[in-house]
Amino acid sequence: MKANIYIILSIALVFSSMAVVGCGTAAPPVSTKGPIVIGYVGNSSSPGTKPCMDIVGMAVEEINETGGILGRPVVYVIEDGKGETSLSAAAATRVVMGQKALFYITEGRSEIVLANEFKSADMYKEFPHIMLGMATSHEAADLVFNDYDKFKFYFCNFNPEPGHYLWATQIFSIFNQLQPQVKKWALLYEDLLWTKMFREGYKELNLPTWDVMAKEDWNINVVYSKAFKARAGMYLPVLDTIAKSDAEMIFLVSSWFTDAEVFVKQWVDSPAKDIPLYIYGGVSQTHDFWKLTGGKCLGVCSGSGETPITDSTMPAVQKANARGIPCQLNVLCNYDDIYFMKKAIETVGGTDDVDAIIKAMETIETPGTSGKYKYVSEKIAPYFHSRVCADPSNPRKEIPGYFQAPSAQFQQDGEMVPLSPAQYAQINRFKTLEQLRKEAGWKGY
């Protein structure tokens, strides 16, 4: 019954906003007594974004079942930006001006987040609101750092680019422990804005490229390094070249924009099929990847959102999985976002003063499924208003207890065996590709 009431409220808001827009008159301010509206702008057909949208709905339902926020129900609205920059900016306008959202989340493609950041800046004075973006690129964070008054509404609810140096360091460290003899790696970088720092380095923080970092810190020789187009669809030429490069490990630096399942299917039929593969992010972080690849991801190691990260990870994952929601790391972030925003509103005591909510967001901390959730309040570029993860003074150093990215290996029947973080790792269960394929009865092993 409650769900029906909220649906009715949402429909009413949509029609009222349509009427206002149709008349061409200024929209009334967000209600400070009625429902609290939150929104999501993203590509609803994306395998990386759709689960995020769904788990936000799950969190909203949980909150409404326990009385809402300060006794007010939460209405959740979605606008589909189709994965296109211009359409996403238009969707953000509909969410803020039409739906009167107090805050909205934008899917993680940096180019889209940047466009919506500027769009929100145009709307903020008349329609105060908060924007969360999953872009890791420093360009988005730099806007807040360089012009706080104009862009103070923006928070990066994911790891900023330098923080990924920590996660890459952890991956190199794990495999230095598992296979210390493997010293020749091939690095493939998704050719999008968020990987630019990894490929070119970052002079402001004296950060080298990942190719150089691998050599300096782990004596790993990167024998093949290339940026590839997201969702290229054809990877056999690259895999053939990697096989000829004498590489002993493939590190695919990808997000949910890359068709990693296609890559894996082509990998097992390529000359590189016996070279171990680690996939950084995206759909490979969930149990669904086993089905997506038809079991061909056997032995693949990957980032993981569906193995233990904190004591609260698996209950949320299991509940989401029961609803058909795969939990990549970004999905868990969006689940935690809603509870963080709830705490910020409750700290202020209402939604009248959005500037006060922003200030609360700069100071509060909440528990999260992937580690403690807090934003960097110190004006340190490019960390300011980004989620706390790595040490700003040394991006390769962890701040214990905060945002963590685990790794796992796909084994028989799609089981994901945890390789990190240390307190949940089952390193002794790691097996080589040859072992796993032989046990599974693969031809030729």
- Regarding whether 245 and 264 lie in a shared domain, the answer is yes
Question: Are residues 32 and 59 both part of a single domain?
Answer: yes
Its domain, for residue 56, covers 2-160+312-395
Rg (CA), the chain: 22
- The reply to whether 368 falls in a domain is yes
Give the strand order in the sheet containing 221-228.
Answer: 221-228, 184-190, 249-253, 277-279, 301-303, 407-410, 416-420
Q: Give yes or no: residues 173 and 195 share one domain.
A: yes
Q: Which parts of the chain register pLDDT below 50?
A: 1-30
Residue 109 lies in a domain: yes
Residue 243 and residue 354 in one domain = no
Same domain membership, residue 258 and residue 128: no
Within this chain, do residues 294 and 378 fall inside the same structural domain, yes or no?
no
Residue 413 lies in a domain: yes
Q: Are residues 6 and 148 in the same domain?
A: yes
Q: What is the pLDDT of residue 32?
A: 60
Residue 76 maps to a domain = yes
Residue 273 and residue 239 share a domain: yes
Amino acid at 224: Y
Let me know: does 102 contact 354? Beta carbons within 8 Å: yes
Instruction: Assess if residue 445 is contained within a domain.
Output: no
The one-letter amino acid code at 401 reads G
Which residue type occupies 34?
G
**Segment 119-178, tens digit of pLDDT:** 999 999 999 999 999 877 788 889 999 999 999 999 999 988 899 999 999 999 999 999
Q: CA 289, CA 220: separation in Å to the nearest integer?
A: 28
Kindly state whether residues 363 and 422 are assigned to the same domain: no
Q: How far is CA 309 from CA 128, 317, 369, 423, in A?
A: 35, 11, 7, 9
Number of independent structural domains in the chain: 2
**327 & 209 share domain:** no
Does residue 30 share a domain with residue 127? Answer: yes
In this structure, the answer to whether residues 201 and 259 fall within a common structural domain is yes
What is the CATH classification number for the domain harbouring 117? 3.40.50.2300
Tokens 């924009």 sit at which residue? Answer: 257
Residue 444, in any domain of the structure:
no
Q: How far apart are CA 382 and CA 389, in angstroms?
A: 13
Residue 172 resides in a domain: yes
